[in-house]
Chain A
Amino acid sequence: MRQARSRAAIALVGTASLVALAACGSSSSGGNKSGGGGNNAGGNTKTIVWGSTDKPVSYDPAGAYDLPSWNVIYNVYQNLLRLDPTTEKNVPDAAQSCDPSADFKTWTCKLKPGLKFSNGDPLTAADVKFSFDRVIKINDPSGPSSLLAKVKTDAPDATTVVFHLASGNALWDYILSTGAGAIVDSKVFPADKKLADNKIVGSGPYELASYQTNQVAQFKPNPNYGGDLKLNNGGLVIQYYQDENALKLDVEQGKVDVVYPGLSPTADTELKGKSGVNVISGPGGAIRYLVFNTKTMPGGSDAQKRAIRRAVAFLIDRESIAKNVYQGTVQPLYTMVAKGLAGSEDVYKTEFGDTPDKSKAQQELQKAGVKTPVNLQIWWTPSHYGALSSDEYTEIKRQLEASGLFKVDLKSTEWEQYTANCLADKCPVYQLGWFPDYPDTDDYVGQFFGSTSFLNDHYSNAQVDSLLKDEEGTRDQAKRVDDFKKIQEITVADAPVIPYWQGSQIAITHGSVSGIQDTLTPDYIFRFWLLGKS
C-alpha cells in the first residue's frame, strides 16, 4: 500500500516537474546565434530565419527548374557569371571573363584562379564541363535541360571552358548566370543521376550545414568561398511550412524574420497593420497563363482547335480574376511578355478586347463548325502557384460556362505529378506560371513560342522560329525589339497560350531586417548575402 502510494507520488511529482519546466521557460526566438567564416561585411553575424511555404524540387541544379529550388542554388553554387542586382547586367562570378565569337556560336570563359568548393576540392574547368554535361544527360523532367539544348562544352585546360552552340545566341551569358549553369563538384555529384539534397556541395557564398527533408535547411557562410560577394549575415535558415497559417502566425510572433515569397493576398493585407511586421513589394515579371496542348485539346481539326482557343481568349475576364481572386494585387496581362520589358505590347487586348465578348466567341466557334457547349478539361496545380490557384480556376470555369459555350471539367494534381502529366500530352489545357530565368524579353518569347519550347504544346510556326533565331543572334536592341513585336503579333492570332495576369514580388519581414528591397529585383534571385539583421 505504502509502496503504491509512493510510486504514484513519484509519478505525479515527475509529471508536474516536466510541466513546470515547460511553463517556466519561454521559448527563445531564433535568429540570434552568431555565425562565422565567409566574406562577412560589417561583422553582422546574425542568422536570418526565412519562412516559406514553397516546396523545392531539388537542390541539385540538374533536377531543378523552379523558383524555390533556384533560390537555394543561387546561394550555394557559383556560376561562371552572375547578374548584378543593380544593373541587371552579367558580371564575373567564377569566371573572370566570358567572350563570344562574332557569330555568338562559340563562347570562351576563363576561370578565376584558386577557386574551391566548400569541401576544399579545387574548382576547375573540368567541373564546369561536368556540370553542363550532366544536366543534359540526366534530362530530369523537373530540370533545366531545355535551357542548355544542343550545347557542347569543352575544357581544353584547367581554367578554360568553351561552349559550342548549335546556333548563335547573344544571350548565352544570361543562361550561364541561371540555375542551369551552377557549377558542381565532379568528385561528389554523380554524372547520371541527381544527388540527394543533404549532400550538395558548391563553391558559392554559403554551404549547406544541415538539412531535414521538407522541414528545415541551414546555410552557413562558406569558409572556402573565393568570390567577391560580401555577406551581411552569419547564415540563413529556411523553415519550410506546409500551411501558410502557421507561417503567418510565426512571422507575427517574430519566430521568422523573412517570408518570401509572400503569403496569400488576404494574409499579406492582414499583416500590413501588424506591429513589427513589414510587407514589402518589389518589381515582378511573374506571369500566369493558360496553355493549350494543340494536339490533345478538343477540336476535330486544326481550324476547330484554333477557334476554340480564340473563343476562350474572347471570354477570359482578367479584371475579374485580378479583383475578385487576387484582391487587386495582380494586374491584368494582355501579352506573354511581362510589362516593363523591351518590346512588350498588349496584343491580346488589341486582338480580343479587354472585356469578355460572348458574341465574338460564338462567331469563332460557329465559323469553324464547333458544336457547343465544348467539353473542356482544364488542369491546375494546388500549391506550386499559391493557395489561390483553386479560386483562380473556379473563376475561369465560371467565366467560360457563363457564356453557355463551354462545359469545363477542372482537374488538379500536385506539382511533380502535374509537370510529368502536362508536359507529356496528358493535359489538354493547363495552368502555368512563369518567373523569368533572366530579365530579357527572349526568356519569355523563346520559352513559349519556339518549336523546342519546354511547353511541349506542339505549337510551331516557322516564321516565329526564324524571328527567334534572329533576335538571339544579335545585340542590336532596336532590331530585337522589332522581332519581339512581330513574334507577339503573329502568335496572338493562334493563341496557343493565353496570358491573364502579372504580379509583383512580395516579401514580409519582422523586426529590423535589411536588404530585402535590394534583392526584390526583376530577376527573382533571392540573394541571401544581402540580408542583414540588427
Chain B
Amino acid sequence: MARSSGSLSRYLVTRLLLVIPMVWILLTIVFVLMRVAPGDPVQAALGGRLPQSVIEQKRHELGFDKPLIVQYGHYLGGVLTGNFGHATSQNRSVMDIVTHEGAATLELSVAAMFFALILGLGIGVLIGRFRDSPLDVVGRLFGIITYAAPVFWVGILFQLLFVAKLGVLPSSGQADVLQNIDLQNHAHTHIYVLDAIINGNWDDLRNVLVHLILPGLTLGLLVCGVFIRLVRVNVIQTLKHDYIEAARARGIGETRVVLKHAFRNALVPVVTVVGLQAALLLSGAVLTETTFNWPGIGQALILYLNQRDYAAVQGIVTVFALIVVGVSLVIDIVTALIDPRVRYS
C-alpha cells in the first residue's frame, strides 16, 4: 500500500512537472508561428485610410514596436496572468471570447463525447464479441465511414434529413432566439444546459437539449469511429485471456463475461484515447459550429482569421493549446489511477 501510494505520488509530481516545458514549447510555437506570418498585425487589422501616425500609435499600444524578445516576454507574462490579449477588430478581450464562446464549445464537446462514447463503446463491444460476423463487418465499415466523412458534410446531411424532410429537430443555434436571449440575460456559467438547470427553467433546458442533438451527434460521429475500432480490438484481445476461459468454465453467462470482465479491462486504453480525441474534437468543432451556426470558439476563430485579427487568433490558439495540454494531463492522471502499470513503468 505504502509503495503503491508513493509511486503514484511520484508519478503525479513528475507528470505535473512535465507540463511546464510542454506548455512553454507550445506557447513558443504559437508565438513564433504568428510572428513569421507575413504582414504587420496592426496594419492588417486596421490599416488603410488610417494615418500612419495612428497606425504607429496602435502598434505601440499593442507592443508590436518592441523587440521580438520583449514581445515574447510580454506574451508569456500575459498568459501566466490570464491575459490572452485583445481582439483588434472588435473591442473584446480574448478572455471574454473564451468565456462566452468557449462555454458554447465546451457544451458541444461534452455532448459530442457523450454520443461518441455511447456509440463507440456500444458498437465496439458488440462487434468485438461477434468477431468476423456480418455485424462485425457493418460495425467496422461504420467506424471507418464516420471517421473519414467530412464533419460539415455529415452535418448538412443531418439537417436535410431531420430538419428539412422530417422537421423534428432544429437546424441551428444553441437555442431558439428568445430562449437564447433569456439564457444570456440569466447567465451563470454561460453553459446553457447548466444555466437552465440553475435557473430552474425546464422549457429552456428542453430547448437547449433539443438543439444539442444534431451538432453533438455530428461531431460525436467524427470521434466514435476511433473508439469503435479500439474497443473492438481490446475486447477481442481480452476475450482470449485465461481468466475469461476460467469464467466461462465456471458457468458464467456469455453476456456477463463480455460486459463485466472483458469490457471493463478493454476500457483502460480507451481512457487514454479520450484525451487524445480532445484535440480532434476542438478541430472538428470549428466546422461543426459553422454548419450549425453554433456560437462557439471555433466559429469565432474563423471570423477572426478572416478579419486578419492576429491578436485574437493568437489568443484563441493559445487557449486551444492549453486546453489540449490540460485534458492530456487529466487523462494521464486518471489512467495512472486505474492502471497501476502506468505509474510503475
Report which A residues bind B (CB closer than 8 A): 18-19, 21-22, 24-31, 33, 47, 49, 139-141, 194-197, 210, 212-216, 218, 237, 239, 241-243, 245-247, 249-250, 252-253, 255-256, 413-414, 416-417, 419-421, 423-424, 456
Contact = CB atoms under 8 A, between A and B. Distances in A.
Contact of A243 (B47, B180, B290): B290
B49 A250 contact: no
Contacts of A26: 210
A139 B53 CA distance: 13
**Most chain A CB neighbours (cut-off 10 Å) among B92, B173, B202:** B173
B207 interface: yes
B189 to A, nearest CB: 15
B81 interface: no
Contact of B47 (A197, A239, A241, A424): A424
A253 B210 contact: no
**Most chain A CB neighbours (cut-off 10 Å) among B91, B207, B303:** B91
Interface of B: 44-51, 89-92, 100, 156, 159, 163-164, 167, 170-173, 175-181, 184-185, 202-203, 205-207, 209-211, 213, 290-293, 295, 299-300, 302-303, 306-308
A7 to B, nearest CB: 14
A426 B290 CA distance: 30
A47 B178 contact: yes
Nearest to A416: B307
B206 A250 contact: no
A2 to B, nearest CB: 14
Contact of A210 (B170, B181, B308): B181
B211 A245 contact: no
B211 A27 contact: yes
B290 A218 contact: no
18 contacts: A21-B205, A22-B213, A25-B202, A27-B211, A196-B91, A210-B185, A213-B100, A243-B290, A243-B291, A246-B159, A246-B172, A250-B170, A253-B167, A255-B171, A255-B177, A420-B46, A421-B47, A421-B48
B247 to A, nearest CB: 15
**Most chain B CB neighbours (cut-off 10 Å) among A29, A216, A421:** A216
Given A243-B290, A414-B308, 10 more contacts: A25-B203, A25-B206, A27-B207, A242-B290, A243-B293, A253-B170, A420-B46, A420-B47, A421-B48, A424-B48
A247 B308 CA distance: 26
B295 A214 contact: yes
Given A214-B295, A243-B290, A416-B307, A139 B50 contact: yes
Contacts of B44: 417, 420
Contact of B176 (A28, A215, A241, A417): A28
Nearest to A417: B308
Contacts of A255: 170-171, 176-177
Contacts of A24: 206
A18 B205 CA distance: 9
Contacts of B207: 25, 27-28
Contacts of A253: 163, 167, 170-171
Contacts of A242: 290, 293, 299, 302-303
B48 A212 contact: no
A533 B317 CA distance: 44
A527 B293 CA distance: 26
Contacts of B307: 414, 416-417
A297 B180 CA distance: 49
A49 B177 contact: yes
B50 A212 contact: no
Given A27-B170, A141-B50, A246-B291, A218 B181 contact: yes
A249 B177 contact: no
Contact of A215 (B90, B209, B295): B295
Contacts of A423: 48-49
Given A215-B295, A246-B172, A239 B48 contact: no
Nearest to B89: A416
B173 A212 contact: no
A246 to B, nearest CB: 4
B181 A216 contact: yes
B177 A31 contact: yes
B48 A419 contact: yes
A27 B176 contact: yes
A140 to B, nearest CB: 8
Given A243-B293, A246-B159, A246-B292, A29 B202 contact: no
Nearest to B174: A215
Contact of B210 (A25, A30, A218, A419): A25
Nearest to B43: A420
A456 B207 CA distance: 50
Contacts of A256: 177
B223 to A, nearest CB: 19
A248 to B, nearest CB: 9
A141 B177 CA distance: 32
Contacts of B159: 245-246, 249
Nearest to B300: A214
Contacts of B293: 241-243, 246-247
A15 B185 CA distance: 27
Query: Nearest 7 CB-CB pairs, A to B?
Result: A25-B206, A420-B48, A22-B209, A246-B172, A414-B306, A249-B171, A30-B177
Contacts of B290: 242-243
A29 B89 CA distance: 34
A424 B49 contact: yes
A28 B210 CA distance: 11
Nearest to A32: B178
A139 to B, nearest CB: 7
A26 B210 CA distance: 8
Contacts of A194: 91
Given A210-B184, A241-B172, A249-B172, A18 B209 contact: yes
Contacts of A140: 50
Contacts of B181: 210, 216, 218, 237
